[in-house]
Structure 1
Amino acid sequence: MLKVMVVEDEEQIRKILGKMIEKSEGCQVVSSCGNFAAAISDFINYRPDVVFMDIDLAGESGLDCAKAITEVDPKVKIVFATAHSEYMANAFEIYAFDYLVKPFDLERIGKTLQRIKDMTAGASESVAHNKPDSSHEKLVIRGKEEINLVDTGDIIMVERTDGMTRIVTKDEVFLTTASLSSIQEKLDPARFMRCHKSYIIKTEAVKKLEIYGRWTYTVTLKDTEETALMTADKYNEMKQNFAF
C-alpha cells in the first residue's frame, strides 16, 4: 500500500485531491493538512511514501516545506500540485518527483502514482541485486524559450559543440547552454561515461567502437544515428570494465 500525504491550504481542494488519490488502486491518504507545521508533524508521525504539496501554503512556502520533509527522509517522493507553474524548474531541480498544475486531472494523478508504484517495485528488486534504479530521475533542461524535463534513462549521449550542449534521446534532441560538466554531475556515473572532453555517453547504449585516430575512437550508439568520440584512456577503462 502506497501511503500518501496531502498538504494544501484550501480545505475543499484538499478533500477533492484526497478523493482523487484514493481512486488509484493501492493508495491510501494517511494525512491531509494545510500548513507548514502540521505537514512536518504529520510526516514524522505517518511517514508517507508520497507527499502532494501545494506551493503556496497560506503565505508559507511549500518549497521550503518540501525541503524540510526531504531532510527528514530523502527517499520520499514529492509531487507539487499547484497553480503556480512558474516554480516548476526550481521544484524539479531541488527535489520534486512530479508537478501537477490545477485544475487536477484524475488520469494524470493516476499516471503519476502508477509511476511511483512501478519505481517502488523496481527499487525493491534493484536492492535485492544491489543495483539502484536511476532510470526515472528527471533532468531539467533549460532552453532559450522553454524548460524540458527528461528521464535520465532516455538519454543516449550528450555533446558539447559550438557553445551549446546537445542532449540526445531516442526521439528528440534538446539544446541548452548548460555546461557538459554540470550535466555530468546530474547523471548516474554507473550508467554514463565522460568519454571525451566533448561527449558523455550511456555505456549500455554503446554498439560499436572504431579506431578514428591514434588516440581516439568513434562510438556508434543504439537508437540513434549520432556518433561520439572516445579517448584511448576511456577506451582502456571501458575495456577493463566490460572485459572485451
Structure 2
Amino acid sequence: MKITVLIAEDDPDMCHVIKKVVEEVEGVEVTGEAGDGVEAITLIKELSPQVVFVDIDLPGKNGVELAREIFDINPWTFIVFATAFSEYRSEAFDLYAFDYLVKPFKLNRLRQTMERIKSVVDGKITGKQVSGLTKPNHPVEKARIFKDNNEYVYLNLNDIIFVTKEERKTIIYHNEGVLKTHENLSDLEKQLGGYPFFRSHKGFIVNLNMLKKIIPCGRGSFELVMANTEKRPFLTWENAKILENMTNSKVL
C-alpha cells in the first residue's frame, strides 16, 4: 500500500528537495504540492494524504493554522513541520506533530522521519501492553441520549471506545459502530464525568477500560491501541505523565 504525501511549502527548491528525499523511501508517493495554506487545505480535502509536510511561514494560512484545520478534517494525518522557525516547536507538538524539522536540516534526518512514519503505518513498531491500571474509582453503568443527525441514539457510556473530531464533527466510536454529534469535545468531556474517560490529546477522549497498548509515535507522542477498533487515538507526552499520576501506574 502506497503512503501518500502532500507538501505545503512556498519555496519551490525546498519542495523539490523534500519530494526527492521522501520518495526515496519505498512505498512513498508525493501526490500533491501546495505553495500556500489555502491551496493546501483544498488539496487535503481532495487527496486525503496520509502525511503532510508543513512550513510555518506559508502565505494565505500559516502552518500552525493549517495544522489545526488538518486535524479537524482528519486527526490521523501525520503532520511533519519543516521550517526555519524553531519557536513554534512546543505549539506544533501540542497540536500533534509527528516531527519538527528546523531548516537547514540534514537530508538523512528527513529520510529517517519518513521511514519512521512508514514503520508506524506498517505496524512494525511495538509498544507496551497496558493492563492492571489502578482505577481511582469504578465506572457506573449509565447511558445517554445523543442526537446523531436527525435521529436520537440511546448509548451505554461503557460501550464508548473513544471520541474525536472528523470533518469538523464530533465522532463517537463505540462497540456497535460510530455516532456523529455536533457537541464539542470539551463539553462532552465534562458530560462523560471523568474516569474511565480521559483527554489523551486535544483531539481525543479515550475510555481507559478499552486501552490495550501504548505505542511510541513520533517525538513525544504515542498511539493508543484500543479494543474493538483498528483506529488509534493519540496520547501526548504531557498527558501520559498525567495518566501515570492519575492511575498510580507505570504506563510508559
TM-score normalised by length of structure 2 = 0.54
1:134/1:188 contact within 8 Å kept: no
Mapped to 1, the partners of 2:61 and 2:16 lie a distance apart of 20
Mapped to 1, the partners of 2:213 and 2:17 lie a distance apart of 32
Deviations 1:183-226 (A, max 9, x none): 7744595xx4635xxxx4325x8xxxxxxxxxxxxxxxxxxxxx
Say which SS state the counterpart of residue 51 (structure 1) adopts. strand
TM-score normalised by length of structure 1 = 0.56
2:216 corresponds to 1:136: yes
2:21 corresponds to 1:20: yes
Per the TM alignment, residue 137 of structure 1 is displaced from its structure 2 partner at its CA by: 4.4
Per the TM alignment, residue 125 of structure 1 is displaced from its structure 2 partner at its CA by: 9.4
Mapped to 1, the partners of 2:17 and 2:111 lie a distance apart of 14
Say which SS state the counterpart of residue 112 (structure 1) adopts. helix
Structure 2 partner of 1:9:
10
The runs of 5 or more residues in structure 1 that have no matched partner are 139-148, 154-181, 206-244
Q: 1:120 to 1:16 in 2, by over 3 A?
A: same
Q: 1:6 to 1:133 in 2, by over 3 A?
A: farther
> One-letter code of the match for 2:97?
A
Structure 1 partner of 2:100:
99
Structure 2 partner of 1:194:
246
Say which SS state the counterpart of residue 91 (structure 1) adopts. helix
Mapped to 1, the partners of 2:36 and 2:67 lie a distance apart of 12
Structure 2 partner of 1:160:
none
Per the TM alignment, residue 107 of structure 1 is displaced from its structure 2 partner at its CA by: 1.2
Structure 1 partner of 2:48:
47
2:105 corresponds to 1:57: no
Mapped to 1, the partners of 2:21 and 2:237 lie a distance apart of 36
Say which SS state the counterpart of residue 123 (structure 2) adopts. helix
Structure 2 partner of 1:75:
76
> One-letter code of the match for 1:44?
K
Mapped to 2, the partners of 1:113 and 1:16 lie a distance apart of 13
Q: How many residues align?
A: 157
Deviations 1:63-121 (A, max 9, x none): 00111011100000100000101111111111211001112322111111111111112
Structure 1 partner of 2:186:
none
Mapped to 2, the partners of 1:132 and 1:91 lie a distance apart of 27
Say which SS state the counterpart of residue 111 (structure 1) adopts. helix
Per the TM alignment, residue 151 of structure 1 is displaced from its structure 2 partner at its CA by: 5.5
Per the TM alignment, residue 25 of structure 1 is displaced from its structure 2 partner at its CA by: 1.6
Mapped to 2, the partners of 1:201 and 1:109 lie a distance apart of 35
Q: 1:184 to 1:83 in 2, by over 3 A?
A: closer
Structure 1 partner of 2:33:
32
2:124 corresponds to 1:117: no
Say which SS state the counterpart of residue 52 (structure 1) adopts. strand
Flag the structure with larger Rg.
Answer: 1
Mapped to 2, the partners of 1:47 and 1:93 lie a distance apart of 22
**Greater length-normalized contact order (CA 8 Å, ≥ 6 residues apart):** 2
1:7/1:35 contact within 8 Å kept: yes
Mapped to 2, the partners of 1:183 and 1:136 lie a distance apart of 10
Mapped to 2, the partners of 1:124 and 1:137 lie a distance apart of 8
Structure 2 partner of 1:175:
none
